[in-house]
Amino acid sequence: MLHGKKILLIVSGGIAAYKSLDLIRRLREHGAVISCVLTEAACKFITPLSITSLSGQKAYSDLFSLTDENEMGHIELSRQSDLILVAPATANILAKMASGICDDLATTVLMATNKPVMVAPSMNVRMWKHMAMISNTKKLRDRGIVFVGPETGDMACGEYGPGRMTEPLELVGAIYKHFDSNNPLEGKKALVTSGPTHEPIDPVRYISNRSSGKQGHAIAAALNQFGAETVLVTGPTNEPDPPGVKVKRVESAREMLDACRESLPVDIAVCAAAVTDWCPSEPCEQKIKKNGKAPAVQLTKNPDILRELAKDCNNRPHLVIGFAAETGDVVKKAIPKLEDKGCDWILANDVSRGTKTFGGDQNTIYFINGDLVEAWPEMTKINVGNLLAERIAKQFKEELKNG
């Protein structure tokens, strides 16, 4: 998808500099051609040699190197790329960029360029929240510099908050979006299920689960941002409606299945709902009084919405994607669900107590597509949505290319 795109990666001197090695690998996997500039401080964390080995290109760091200037002048370096990415971008380099200081190769290139610039900040939370940083960030954004992150989480210094550099995989998603801002899923229709379902015992009580709907809603938002006409069928949640998405609210699994069927045909179906597996066989029409002995609630299995959609002979969406919520042995337990449910991809996650998946903002996914099992690093549910949308767009583009 990034085939032939030239990206100049500027690595500044932060603890996250090591992530730039993985970033280079990932970008090259997507077909991008990477040149690198390291600041002097970056060379304290990683070596030009490791960068060169991974990028397959010479890494530059010295503004006054005669050899480098002969081979590739700094002006040429600043102009030859389709995008300049600063990752990690420390408070220092962002401050220099905001003030127009150019006292080394990296900052000189950034001053001389006429190309789009994207930055992935990485710094201590207090530095990120400092007034100077806030004003620098505003200046840079006003000049059209694109910020990706920082993410919230534990910091290398032991503090917690926003300041972590966005993970390489997510950065690839952001770069992909930058180049494909012309809505790569335009003309496609998507259906997403989200949230839990409520299965009534009587008019007051129900059976349900801990799902918050955050992940499903984030996927619907991302698909819509990628240009797909998106319908979100959601069980009861506190999540706001994603802008631009058609939302159908339901209570029970039965209602969810009906709403999904009514939304067909679609090109993409993503079943992220935590559908309650059983429902009371005969819900009471009146509130059950507790003056007698405790009632025995007879349960019936609910329809499997994912399976129904994937095995629908008349109206099967072109791409059907499920989730697998597992506790322990996640991949091993998730793989059989691909065949059992008839879906194309599975996103498996660990929902053991303590993983903070239910209700939390973060998710750790294993992306399973046939024999391919990819461990995505922990990231926000929003970024899982973006990355999944990016994969979906890539799939459609490849299919188009291969006829």
Which residues of this chain interact with ligand CTP, rule CB under 6 A?
193, 253, 271, 273, 275, 277, 302, 304-306, 322-325, 337, 341
Cβ at position 277, least distance to ligand CTP in Å: 5
Rounded Cα distance between 11 and 276, Å, is: 47
Q: Is 157 a catalytic residue?
A: yes
Q: Where are the alpha helices (DSSP H) in 247-380?
A: 253-263, 305-310, 330-341
Measured from the CB atom, is 141 or 210 closer to ligand CTP? 210
Shortest Å distance, C-beta 315 to ligand CTP: 16
How far out from the chain centre does Cα 378 lie?
10
- Residue placing its CB nearer to ligand CTP in the complex, 241 or 277: 277
CB of 105 to ligand CTP, least distance (A): 49
Q: Which helix (H) or strand (E) is 139 found in, with range?
A: helix 131-142
Residues whose CB falls within 8 Å of the CB of residue 123, separated by 6 or more in sequence, listed in order: 14, 90, 91, 133, 150, 163
In the set 36, 43, 102, 157, the catalytic residue is 157
Q: Which of 207, 204, 394, 187 minimizes the C-alpha distance to 288?
A: 204
- Residue 14 pairs in a beta bridge with none
Q: How far is the CB of 176 from ligand CTP (least distance, A)?
A: 25
Residue type, 52: T
Whole-angstrom Cα distance, residue 9 to residue 32? Answer: 11
Q: How far is the CB of 275 from ligand CTP (least distance, A)?
A: 4
DSSP 8-state secondary structure symbol assigned to residue 104: S
- CA separation, residue 313 to residues 206, 265, 318, 323, 342 (Å): 33, 12, 12, 21, 12
- Residue among 191 and 325 whose Cβ is closer to ligand CTP: 325
Q: Which two tokens stand for residue 244?
A: 């631009």
Our CB check for ligand CTP shows the closer of 323 and 376 to be 323
The residues annotated with a catalytic role in the active site are 157
